[in-house]
Structure 1
Amino acid sequence: MAYEVRGVVARAKGEPVSVETIHVPDPGPGEAVVTVQACGVCHTDLHYREGGINDDFPFLLGHEAAGVVEAVGEGVSGLAPGDYVILNWRAVCGQCRACLRGRPWYCFNTHNATQKMTLADGTELSPALGIGAFVEKTLVAAGQCTKVDPAASAAVAGLLGCGVMAGLGAAINTGGVTRGDSVAVIGCGGVGGAAVLGSSLAGAAKIIAVDVDDRKLEWAKGFGATHTVNSRTTDAVEAIRELTGGFGADVVIEAVGRPETYKQAFYARDLAGTVVLVGVPTPDMTLELPLLDVFGRGGALKSSWYGDCLPSRDFPMLIDLYLQGRLNLDGFVTETIALDEVEQAFTKMHHGEVLRSVVTL
């Protein structure tokens, strides 16, 4: 039987979201229905509401979620009702050129549910990042469900579904931070804070947090930052160089997604150092750098998509570290809220008042 549930919908660009009745079909072949227990409010959801991703309204928002499998469709193996899962938007296909090269974290053909969830009048919904999890139950591809230890609360576990994984992975997977490295993180919201945490987990000797907000810099200290720089009052590039013996950091992670902060990252790295862009730019942004500087400084300029994560590998490992007390995921949960408080959470996020508001159901 199909399910009738409540969910958060963005009907038009810039309009406040609303809680509406959603029809969720029974899972078809390769699909699963998941009872959502918690879902973080991510900046990407606000981008959807503002039309910054595409214009396929109405959107069913939410994607940073954990819950319990309710039902699975025909042909699904390795997943069963009752399994505790984190939802992911990288359901690797196993057949594209990236997967066949043994690089599934770059999968070019990740898949979503084939069927559509709808409003009560039959209008098809576009689920955010192919998930749509500000809802009591959601329909996803079975490959979007990653089983983890149920001892971790859903409010914490779900954060690995997007922002926290993006930051952790930017440091560990993309940036290759390792023991003794110096790291600078520019932009210390949820993603940047996770990059600080990932750098600390990897054994970086010096972690420099850069932001214009002292509150975020204090949060970064809690995740392992050894030094902080308020770039509103201090030249970030000069400060990073001064803190690294005049050389610059081995790895600089840009978690803002703006040309000016990317330039800071570029010039704040050591020769042959690495710059990682994990902040998401808007389509209108452009970047201009002297090509001779790109050539002469060497190293690597990388973009990090979803922290270059492989959910089946990374999610269970990170949850285990959390349960061992070695990974401070609790620090990202600023507040828990109800479904009808998502619009207020967007306002708090826009003003930098929270790292994560988490909807609990």
Structure 2
Amino acid sequence: MGTMSQRVNGVIARAKGAPVEVATIIVPDPGPGEAVVKIQACGVCHTDLHYREGGINDDFPFLLGHEAAGIVESVGAGVTDVAPGDFVVLNWRAVCGDCRACRKGKPWYCFNTHNAAQKMTLEDGTELSPALGIGAFVEKTLVHAGQCTKVDPRARPAAVGLLGCGVMAGIGAAINTGGVTRGDSVAVIGCGGVGDGAIVGAALAGATTIIAVDTDEQKLEWARKFGATHTVNARDKDVVAAVQELTGGHGADVVVEAVGRPETYKQAFYARDLAGTVVLVGVPTPEMTVELPLLDVFGRGGALKSSWYGDCLPTRDFPMLTELYLQGRIDLDAFVSEEIRLDQVEEAFAKMHKGGVLRSVVLF
């Protein structure tokens, strides 16, 4: 531990399924390649709930929170990309620059991403596992400096912090992985934060038909605000038939599956045009399997792709999307349903289940 560790308040999940609690966190001084960031805003993402439920792994206690923006407070030895005072968005895939993906010039696939080497702890010395290597429901967090991406400080922290996870995953699924371009037809299945991000991305890229699919009318209403030209309620309609009908009988050029279930994946597979692209950005659970006639896989052609974090390169994508936000060309503010305090994270999880919010954002 450095000479000067700091004590701050943060939200932890102590045991599987237990309500989260605010605890005192010890944040060490940054070591080589590390940075301490004063958090200004952090979104409440479904993945945080997943950690609390033991759905990721059993490395309790977890320091939750990972969709965040803040100000660099201090940096360790050898850090040159960011400096104290910089306004940054945190990311959970700091590229190494050295693995086989990075060497091939495809750093968004980096197979050896960095996190901080030191651990944050509870007061009794118990090591914390930070959610997605970040842990940002806390006044200050310790990360690898590569997890900090400088963006324009005029941007609202609550809005651009969401680029740290869900919104970026969605925008990237459409633009980076799906390659959506002008005049395309796009269908998005599942219109939460990630799905709405995909709708924003499709609209930004110039797609002319953007079909939002969900079972919740409220979510479909939100999807329209983000740029959906058509909506399909999967409770009332056959999704594949509805998408085909809205695309001249052909199916969509790109279908983004933002649920991560076998049933919705099959819908995505059959709802696309010949030689179209399916992008899976919804995260399945380990026991799920999908069965498709191999002749259909061959005969329909095109591409079945998975999108890791929207195949984003934070240094390229975060500043660009922040700029588009400041220019009024993408509405990141619309993702922020409510601003809450650190001690309201448990309530935010409950709201997530009921579906009344798109994103609750903790402000510091």
TM norm structure 2 = 0.99
1:272 to 265, 272, 275: 275
1:69 to 67, 72, 78: 72
How many equivalent residue pairs?
A: 361
Identity percentage over the alignment?
80
Distance 2:344 2:330 in 1: 28
- Report the Cα offset of residue 277 of structure 1: 0.3
Tell me if 1:127 matches 2:130. Answer: yes
- Stretches of structure 2 lacking an aligned partner (at least 5 in a row): none
Provide the residue aligned with 1:13 in structure 2: 16
- Report the Cα offset of residue 284 of structure 1: 1.1
1:320-339 CA-partner distances (Å, limit 9, x unpaired): 00000001101100000000
- Report the Cα offset of residue 78 of structure 1: 2.2
2:323 to 312, 320, 330: 320
| Amino acid in structure 2 at the alignment position of 1:65 | A
Alpha carbons 2:277, 2:304 under 8 Å: kept: yes
| Amino acid in structure 1 at the alignment position of 2:318 | F
Runs of 4+ in structure 1 displaced over 2 angstroms? none
| Amino acid in structure 1 at the alignment position of 2:52 | R
Distance 2:124 2:192 in 1: 39
Alpha carbons 2:91, 2:149 under 8 Å: kept: yes
1:308 to 304, 311, 335: 311
TM norm structure 1 = 1.00
2:265 to 248, 262, 266: 262
- Stretches of structure 1 lacking an aligned partner (at least 5 in a row): none
2:231 to 207, 228, 233: 228
Provide the residue aligned with 2:247 in structure 1: 244
| Amino acid in structure 2 at the alignment position of 1:334 | S
Alpha carbons 2:71, 2:86 under 8 Å: kept: yes
In the TM superposition, what are the counterparts of 1:87-166 in structure 2 within 5 Å? 87-166=90-169
1:204-224 CA-partner distances (Å, limit 9, x unpaired): 010000000000000000000
Distance 1:132 1:213 in 2: 31
Distance 1:138 1:176 in 2: 35
Distance 1:190 1:353 in 2: 12
Provide the residue aligned with 1:335 in structure 2: 338
Provide the residue aligned with 2:351 in structure 1: 348
| Amino acid in structure 2 at the alignment position of 1:89 | W
* SS of residue paired to 1:27: coil
| Amino acid in structure 2 at the alignment position of 1:208 | I
* SS of residue paired to 1:143: helix
Q: CA RMSD in A?
A: 0.5
Distance 1:27 1:282 in 2: 35
Provide the residue aligned with 1:282 in structure 2: 285
* SS of residue paired to 2:350: helix
Provide the residue aligned with 2:172 in structure 1: 169
- Report the Cα offset of residue 271 of structure 1: 0.4
* SS of residue paired to 1:76: coil
